Structure 1
């Protein structure tokens, strides 16, 4: 769990302070049989926004949405170390171990990673020109290792680093539409009690599964050709253009022209960056957006169909069923 300097007494009640006055958390996790949900809003300089904390006995989620005109620093600590799944949707995040100046890890906008944090205090610096939106899920090491088969390479790798009390990580990866959808499902679900914990921890396992699958695919790609920084930036721009207007279709030729490349390189480099074809990525995003709108319950199917660029609602219904295996009118039930 992340804590911000100057937060409310209600949130700080679960923390203690060391001799230097730094805020240290005794445990970021809930007690067995108990679930903790907290939400605060803050307006202190230099940031304003909201922070949501969800805690089960094995997992702690902190969601931060801050309007940051520069830099905001948070601190967290755990006595035995922890594994953290980090997702930076907007802004950038730097993780710095106490007593060190150089960041141990960085996350840029639309990147995620899996970190093994050693015992002791860590600082999380968030930077943005407008907004910073970050999901951070802390897992007990026991829970993390139970999610993996004993022979998995990460088990021996992380256990060795944990015994040495050293930091470790996978690598920065691109956040996919499916990962984004799961994150907001965690944040917005309405279950209570035991059902809440079951859903919460199952969704975290689903997140981890997608992260590890993407990591393994990225390792295979890294064994081959690597993209230049300029080409990576072009693919990020292509993604922004592709998702900016879902109501109208853009051709591969036009998209390539707008980002300053050719059609062949666009298709090849986009797949290398995001693990999907150009239109496969866009279609997955549209379906996740459709499900989000359906769950909110405020938009009719015909309107969703129009917003997502379908001329006929029946075409949208067929595409939705192919993607999720059920009709749109069943998603609310």
Structure 2
């Protein structure tokens, strides 16, 4: 059942928007500030707390138009959001329950600023990255400067303890913080969403099962994402302990990452890439892997394959054309790389996803 939420029925005022419930929303040409629960409250809870089930809805509010899907499994809650924003949006949020969540910011940007530090920590998640966070309580503001797609997977603390059999030693300081009920992030920065993670997320959205089988399938995929996330952060921590980067080197590597994303089909050697951003080859190789969890050419390959997935949605393009457009000299190399990354041949991926759209 799709629910339509439209909160634009409030009475317009020069100093903002006055809703029927008396809450005033600050609004100007640059941003809108909204209490988070206002987006949903006119229809009640999407799913009552503690109730297992699945629901989808469309949201329409001020500069926000989008759609959401949520599934409560008992101990795990999964929420996929696809929000289109006509202007930057600030959401005021507050709740007292513990907040243990994986966040995969597939597109966009998310920034949380707490009003007080005792219950939560400031968190910034760039588009294309993910983080695991624990907040005993949440009270602050969420800032979204642009449209976003995100998958949130929230665990109850009891479920997490049962999953790890009360042994959080593998998570180091993060595990200790959960037991001590202190706010913590698994790392001081988010890491890139890998190709495998993206595939699992898409598998969740395209789940072929119904009822109890769907619950089992989605829950297993959520745990698989958690394992991949913990493994990636663990490897990154080990690398950081043996290799340090100066701030100017970090800036150069971020510049290179943006160049790759803007033109992944460009053909460059490692030496040429190093010269483009003014860094030596050793720092380029080690630093890029440390910062982004990929080798330089591994990341180039991932960006190309993501571009190929988008192009496969255009039936006017054949596989050879897509191979050429994504920078592969030989179609067979493209086919092999695609299958290795996603587990399907390009033609099979096209057939499976021809009519598949999340929600």
Shorter-chain TM-score range: 0.7 to 0.9
- Check whether the contact 1:60–1:138 (CA below 8 A) recurs between aligned residues: yes
Give 2:304's aligned residue.
286
1:268-324 Cα distance to aligned partner (Å, 9 max, x none) = 211221222110122233334445655x57454233322322233223223334445
The answer to whether the aligner puts 1:7 opposite 2:39 as a matched pair is yes
- Taking structure 1 as the reference length, what is the TM-score of the superposition? 0.77
Matched, 1:92 2:106: no
Q: Secondary structure at the match of 1:311?
A: coil
Q: Does residue 313 of structure 1 match 2:331?
A: yes
Provide the aligned length of Structure 1 versus Structure 2.
311
CA deviation profile, 1:25-46 (whole Å, cap 9, x unmatched): x62x542xxx3122323241xx
Q: Note closer, same or farther for the CA distance 1:326–1:71 as it changes in structure 2 (3 Å cut).
A: closer
C-alpha contact (below 8 Å) 2:126/2:190 kept by paired residues: no
1:229-308 aligned at under 5 Å gives the runs 229-291=247-309, 294=312, 296=313, 298=315, 300-308=318-326
Aligned residue runs from structure 1 range 214-225, under 5 A: 214-225=232-243
Q: Distance in 2 between matches of 1:304 and 1:195?
A: 36
Q: Give 1:107's match in structure 2, choosing from 101, 124, 147.
A: 124
Structure 1's unaligned 5+ residue stretches are: 16-25
CA distance in 2, matches of 1:10, 1:300: 47
1:194 to 206, 212, 217: 212
Q: How does 1:82-161 map to 2 (within 5 A)?
A: 82-88=99-105, 89-96=107-114, 104-110=121-127, 111-118=129-136, 120-128=137-145, 130-148=146-164, 151-154=167-170, 161=177
8 Å contact from structure 2 (residues 339, 346) kept in 1: yes
- State the superposition RMSD in angstroms: 3.4
TM-score (structure 2 length as normaliser): 0.72
Asked if residue 175 in structure 1 is aligned to residue 175 in structure 2, the reply is: no
Provide closer, same or farther for how the CA distance between residues 225 and 313 of structure 1 changes in structure 2, counting only shifts above 3 A: closer
